[in-house]
A and B are shown apart, each in its own frame.
Chain A
Amino acid sequence: MFVAKTISSGHNDLIHDVSFDYHGRRMATCSSDQTVKVWDVDEEGAWQCTASWRTHTGSVWRVTWAHPEFGQVLATCSFDRTAAVWEELSSDATAKGANSTNTWIKRTSLVDSRTSVTDVRFAPKHLGLQLATCSADGIVRIYEAVDIMNLSNWQLHFEFNCNVSLSCLSWNTSRMHAPMIAVGSDDPSQSAGGKVHIYEYSDTARKWLKVETLHLITEPVHDVRFAPNLGRSYHLLAIAARDLTIVSMKISGKESGSNPGGVSKPELRLVGSFDDHESVVWRVSWNITGTILASSGDDGCVRLWKANYLDNWKCLSVLKADSNASEAERASMHQASISTTPTSNSIRVAPPPGTMNIKRTSGWPYMDIKVDQGKLYY
């Protein structure tokens, strides 16, 4: 079950993004009212706004936290064609009362883009303090803090052009292989081909190379997210476009030298594609283990998805935006029971009768490899 509570945000306009810090104890929201608010959770678990300031001269699209190892650092991106890095100056932490506001100062403003900066993401911690931005003119930029003690000095390390208007990007968090980024495009023309591109940093070529385009998705993409990898041998990528799509990606072993530039082509499989959100899926978010996916769509619902034992993703519950706070409607999902006998591998749990409109595709990884007829998409 889910317990719901409601917080009054105090934003004057639409909230475009919400982001949690590493520990889940701080939250940042950004809005069309050009402000960012930082929230801290108090002893009772209630969220208190501890800072609110005007960040940009346009709608703020996204806000994201850096790993706390680098300090309390936020990055924002905006319609005003800039991205900015903010650091907290906690000088007035005396009174822990409601009135204490911490000061966030702008460390740098990244002004390279000529169009709206649509997404900004810090790289996973093991890559150091790096920041990727993407913009409506199709350029991905990767910045690095030259000195992590001095966050006002960011160098544009890489810049590559995807030639389509970009709306979102996501880092692959795995430490196992070369840095990888997925970008999504909200270009409306369907003839332009695949809307999700995957880039990988090649050590030999010393630049970012495109390793894959997902031709499967031709509708405008609003969000892409890699699931936290957590030691799995494959990577899950959730894509919010017209449908919610989950793609599994397996990077085949060591870099094979046969490929130009030394990047290996990942093997992609469609894990699931769902049109439950009637029209457009807007955002996706994975939980900490990458086992529950939340998606929100234009039908005003947030849906939670979970894979069962056979890796069929199913809707776990539907949360309606306009319902009462206490009402969290739960879809009649047959909890895929993990059979408790130690030899359950031979018992194929029959998928429960589909209660939702699910286009079921054969899953991967599968219990029974021989049966797995998962399609390959290139």
Chain B
Amino acid sequence: MSGVKVDIQWSPSDDDMFITHGTAINLYQVKNRDTFHEQHDREHKSAERSKIIHLATHADLQFVKSIAWCPRPESKNVLAVAQANGRISIIGFETHGNDDLIGKEFNIRFNRQCNYLSWNPVETHLLAEGFERNRNEPCVLIWDVNNNANIEVERPSRHSFSEGPFTKPYLELGHGEASSSFSWFPNDGKTFIMGVANKHLRVYDLRDSSKCRLEAHHRCVSGICVEPLEDSRLASFSESQVAVWDLRIFDRPINTITESKNIMKLSWCPKKLGVLSILTKDNSSIKLHDIRHSLFGSDEIEQASIERNIQPFGKSQLSSFCWHPRQENRLITVLANGQLRDMVVFERIPMEWSSSFKLMMPLNGETIRCLEETEQDNDISLVMKRRVTLNYGLQAQDIAANIKAIENEPHLMGLWRWIYNVREVISSQTASNSKLRIPAATGILSLLRFDREDDHLVSEAVPVHWKASEGGKYSKRTHYRCAERTMALQLCGWIPDQQKQNFESFIHSLVEQGDPERASAISLFYLHIKQALEILSNCAMSAEEGRGKPSLQAVAMALSGYTEDKNALWRRTCGTLLHQLENPYLRAVFAFLACDEDDYENVLNEVDMSVEDRVGFALNYLPDAKLKSYLCKLCDELTQSGDLDGILLTGMTDAGINLLENFVDRTADVQTAAIAAVFSTSHVVMKDPRVMEWIDGYRDLLDRWRFWHQRAHFDIVRQSFVQEHRVPAQVLVSCNFCGKSISTSMSILNRARNMFNSVLTRGPQNRPKITCCPSCRKALPRCAICLFHMGTSSGTGIESGSGAKLTMFQEWFTWCQTCRHGGHAAHITEWFREHSECPVTGCPCKCVAQDAVSLCLPETGAGIPKA
């Protein structure tokens, strides 16, 4: 620190002017920065909206001790400056300003250290100055700045060290004492409070200054300040202690706050009730105390305050601060080196996310801002909700319908292809009655028995001879085949070329799907090079139609030049070309042709190829041991990264759940995890605690979004795969007289259901009437609205004229759980559309308000699949 304390003050009349004074007095203005919105400067200094402009400096006066800004609106930028020797000069910054105050000086009889200067905010001609003790001289002088008449009083002959002519003050107080602080009451120009002699706080009235009106004995006499918004409350400090006073109980402070260091500045927030700001020595932060939280108990007063720190310059130690007198929460702070910061102290914002993606932020007492996340944000929460509206995971039979919801999310496709393929395989098994059967939810690893130590896969090596071109010689590649491998290939979505017909159509369908590279790669993997070439060139030919890929022609050309010769130019060119191809399948094709037999590393590590195709290739070309190590390694990698494509390998087993767990950890997509577990149709999987957590978590999500219908559908889907438990009948209606369920005699559910079915088919004329209890033959109660016995057709729609169709539900019993009055559902619903009280005479029950949950309606707008 430079040793000079820099102080700072806002102008009492202008909103954008302030001064700092240390060695010199500087006037500044704050200008709004217009260009703020355009430049998104992230640096925080420039991100502030305003710029501080230095307007003028006044350096003529030496040893400035205290400054008071003239509160008159007409005298702009007029300051009273007290020098260390007690002399006051009134200066003005305004160049054109010819305020008659400027240039006035007030001298005191004996030079003394000045402590403060305070301009009366209401009676603006009064200026108070306080001094250290000097013999029997008064320690507080109040000047009348308008009164120039009293300038030349006779100079005392002795002991005078004062330079100019000494001025007669308006009022003198506190003879022989020292005054350390002073404050006018902001809304009353006649009274003031001052701290004297380090032990008294005294309140005076100008109208009767002979004696003080109130006095308190306390050592906190420095920095007295009256709260602008609450006249009777004031604060003062001494060293490290702050005392808060209430004038109505002035005998002792209502609250004391003890700081760890000596206090430099104390001030109330001018626009906020009960907030005291404190700056202590060598501190980088201003502490705010909300002192309203004092509890006034019966006898003991509990002292408490809510603290908050403001640190405008990081760790730099502040020199002073000043609250803007009119703008709420605006604060200017200064460092000893003169660095300034004009800032707004923001209210603390509590906020909360709602389950429907709203973020509520109350900005202050008056306004709450609501933000809503919209569809463009790709957060998983919104994505899941969107998928629900597209019936993701709610189609038990038609797998493809589920995929519609995730069309744009290829990372989920692998899972669904596996679910689809497993289903296809299982259904074809049932059809063909083949010996080898796979259980549901199988992955390739367990299908090939790689997950067991004691069992080994035995497959047969089949040499396949082929030639690349008509004239070429035959070359040999080895395929490995066995029943398990064939089935595994089916899980990969491949169709082996043993079934000629199916293979053709498989390849053809791939081309149709717009993936000729993959088609040609697969056909080449089965060594149908001719077919592969045809696919490529056909595709290139259709370039004219605007959807082909002309570059493929070149690729086909290159391929057709294939030669077995290991050192041929073709091979070397291939090696370089390989890295320039963008399509992973084309790269794989070249890698396949270029590699030696039994060394397919380049193809297998072609990571941009889908997992299915890599596995499919491996299933064809790798011998058992190698296949095992390759698949296990791949499986580990995919499990670690939580890649859902790995489900193909693991299946829905423990390993698969581990993989799903990593997937959930990474993406928080509990929806897919829960649905995948359900679609695995495996009892074991559903018993896993993690899976149960996912399913519960997902159902809870659906409930929170009020997707109750979708939740019910999800439960139905779950139930259809895994029969966990039967939900027992929940409610029955029993007869008032005999107590038996009125549906018992109809052999409960089945009969009733049959009856309804038949009712629906037979039409209203054949509907049986059940207006009495089937067991005791007593009549059922009457509907409170139509007064017919329950069980009769309710004849809705006649009165209302709405032409509503007569459905079974309208005739249903319904009643209030509290008053136990009720009637036909349709009548009751209609009644409560307009009323809140029970329709029965004399019953005051507000039935409709009983169940607040009923006011909460399910989320609509989402299509619900038809059962």
Contacts and interface: CB of A to CB of B under 8 A. Distances in A.
B848 A93 contact: yes
A328 interface: yes
B56 interface: no
Given A6-B370, A7-B368, A285 B352 contact: yes
B666 interface: yes
Contacts, number: 278
Interface in B392-414: 410-411, 413-414
A365 to B, nearest CB: 5
Contacts of A188: 307
Secondary structure call for the A interface = loop
Interface residues of A, number: 99
Contact of B836 (A93, A298, A304, A341): A93
B359 A343 contact: no
Given A1-B376, A232-B664, A280-B309, A15 B365 contact: yes
A57 B235 CA distance: 24
A45 to B, nearest CB: 9
B30 to A, nearest CB: 15
Given A280-B309, A302-B361, A296 B349 contact: yes
B125 interface: no
A341 to B, nearest CB: 6
Contacts of A205: none
Contacts of A355: 42
Interface stretch (A155-163, A196-204, A286-294): A286-294
B371 A175 contact: no
A343 B607 contact: yes
B364 interface: yes
Contact of A296 (B295, B348, B665): B348
B668 A291 contact: yes
Interface in A55-97: 58-59, 68, 71-72, 79-80, 88, 90-94
Contacts of B309: 279-280
Most B Cβ at <10 Å: residue of A24, A188, A328? A24
A20 B355 contact: yes
A20 B353 contact: yes
B381 A289 contact: yes
A300 B690 CA distance: 41
A32 B366 CA distance: 12
A294 B351 CA distance: 8
B362 A287 contact: no
B379 A289 contact: yes
A12 interface: yes
A98 to B, nearest CB: 16
B349 A302 contact: yes
Nearest to B835: A94
Given A278-B44, A325-B369, A341 B643 contact: no
Given A4-B369, A343-B645, A369-B640, A287 B381 contact: yes
B344 interface: yes
A14 interface: yes
A52 B608 CA distance: 60
A191 interface: no
B387 to A, nearest CB: 13
B665 A27 contact: no
Contacts of B853: 68
Contacts of A13: 365
Interface stretch (B461-469, B691-699, B728-736): B691-699
B364 A279 contact: no
B852 interface: yes
Given A288-B381, A342-B610, A230 B362 contact: no
A321 B361 CA distance: 9
Given A9-B367, A24-B355, A292-B379, A18 B668 contact: no
A283 B456 CA distance: 59
Contact of A229 (B44, B367, B697): B697
Given A11-B365, A231-B693, A343-B611, A321 B349 contact: yes
A358 interface: no
Interface string B659-691: 001101110101001100000000000000110
Contacts of B360: 18, 20, 27
A345 interface: yes
Interface in B313-368: 344-368
A111 interface: no
B408 to A, nearest CB: 9
A24 B641 contact: no
A99 interface: no
B361 A296 contact: yes
Contact of A231 (B292, B366, B377, B673): B673
A32 B835 CA distance: 38
Given A88-B852, A90-B852, A342 B645 contact: yes
B701 A341 contact: no
A5 B370 contact: yes
Contact of B348 (A23, A282, A319): A282
A91 B846 contact: yes
Contacts of B362: 9, 11, 15, 18, 29
A19 interface: yes
A311 B642 CA distance: 13
B173 interface: no
Interface string B277-308: 00000000000000011010000000010111
Nearest to B375: A1
A222 to B, nearest CB: 8
B706 interface: yes
Contact of B371 (A25, A319, A343): A319
B704 interface: yes
A371 to B, nearest CB: 11
B373 interface: yes
Contact of A59 (B293, B354, B364, B662): B293
A150 interface: no
A345 B638 contact: yes
A16 interface: yes
A176 interface: yes
A199 to B, nearest CB: 22
B381 A328 contact: no
A15 B350 contact: yes
Interface string B818-850: 000000000000000001100000000010110
B295 A80 contact: yes
A342 B311 contact: no
Interface string A299-333: 11010101001010000000101100100110010
Q: Which of B44, B666, B835 has the most C-beta atoms of chain A within 10 angstroms of its own C-beta?
A: B666
Contact of A94 (B358, B670, B673, B836): B836
Interface in A354-374: 355-356, 365, 367-369
Q: Which of B610, B698, B856 has the most chain A CB within a 10 Å cutoff?
A: B856
Nearest to A222: B348
Interface in A265-291: 278-280, 282-283, 285-291
A258 interface: no
A3 B374 contact: yes
Nearest to A304: B359
A283 B703 CA distance: 27
Interface of B: 40, 42, 44, 292-293, 295, 304, 306-311, 344-374, 376-381, 384, 410-411, 413-414, 607-611, 637-638, 640-641, 643, 645, 661-662, 664-666, 668, 670, 673-674, 689-690, 693-694, 696-698, 701, 703-706, 835-836, 846, 848-849, 852-853, 855-856
24 contacts: A2-B359, A6-B368, A7-B368, A8-B367, A17-B350, A18-B362, A18-B368, A25-B856, A33-B365, A68-B852, A175-B693, A188-B307, A231-B674, A232-B665, A279-B310, A291-B381, A294-B353, A296-B350, A332-B40, A342-B410, A345-B637, A345-B638, A345-B643, A368-B641
Given A20-B353, A279-B310, A367-B666, 8 more contacts: A7-B369, A9-B362, A9-B368, A88-B852, A91-B846, A289-B380, A294-B351, A296-B350
CB-based closest 7 A-B pairs: A300-B346, A24-B354, A15-B362, A94-B836, A345-B641, A296-B349, A24-B356
